[in-house]
């Protein structure tokens, strides 16, 4: 694993919450570091495989990534303007694990996001 993976992970840690591979690539190249989009994708995929990074697809079809951290949270997203609020998972976490255990599933992860219109856009 070369230096690039380190750079990707570092920038991932700067970003709060999820970020897409494309955005991450933008951020990195804008910062000063030269890096290929392919390399960003490959670094992210490796970290997903190793369990260091969580991923899910947003409604636009882009994959979003974040470092796995203990302070796991979810998103409330305005479908009109994109305004996003981070919210606590609350009961979700236990719902997910109990549903999984009940059905014999293991190594679980979950996605849970809420979409709606924010006050401005309603």
What is the contact surface with DNA in residues (CB under 7 A)?
1-5, 20-22, 34-39, 41-43, 45, 60-63
Question: CA gyration radius for the chain?
Answer: 16
From 10, 22, 31, 95, residue interacting with a copy of itself (rule: CB under 8 A):
95
Rounded distance between C-alpha atoms, residue 74 and residue 40, angstroms: 24
**Distance between CA atoms of 58 and 35, rounded to whole angstroms?**
24
Q: Is 109 in the site for a copy of itself (CB under 8 A)?
A: yes
Distance from C-alpha of 40 to C-alpha of 36, rounded to nearest angstrom:
7
Judged by CB, which is closer to a copy of itself: 28, or 77?
77
Chain contacts with a copy of itself (rule: CB under 8 A)? 55-61, 63, 76, 78, 85, 87, 90-92, 95-96, 99-100, 103-119, 122
């Amino acid at each position: 694993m070369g230096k690039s993976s380190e750079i990707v992970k570092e920038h991932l840690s700067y970003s709060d919450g999820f970020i897409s591979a494309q955005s991450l690539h933008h951020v990195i190249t804008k910062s000063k570091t030269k890096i290929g989009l392919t390399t960003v994708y490959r670094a992210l995929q490796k970290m997903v495989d190793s369990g260091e990074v969580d991923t899910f697809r947003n409604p636009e079809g882009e994959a979003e990534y974040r470092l796995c951290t203990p302070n796991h949270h979810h998103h409330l997203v305005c479908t009109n303007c994109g305004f996003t609020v981070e919210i606590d998972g609350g009961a979700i976490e236990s719902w997910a694990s109990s549903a999984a255990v009940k059905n014999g599933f293991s190594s679980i992860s979950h996605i849970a996001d809420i979409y709606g219109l924010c006050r401005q856009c309603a």
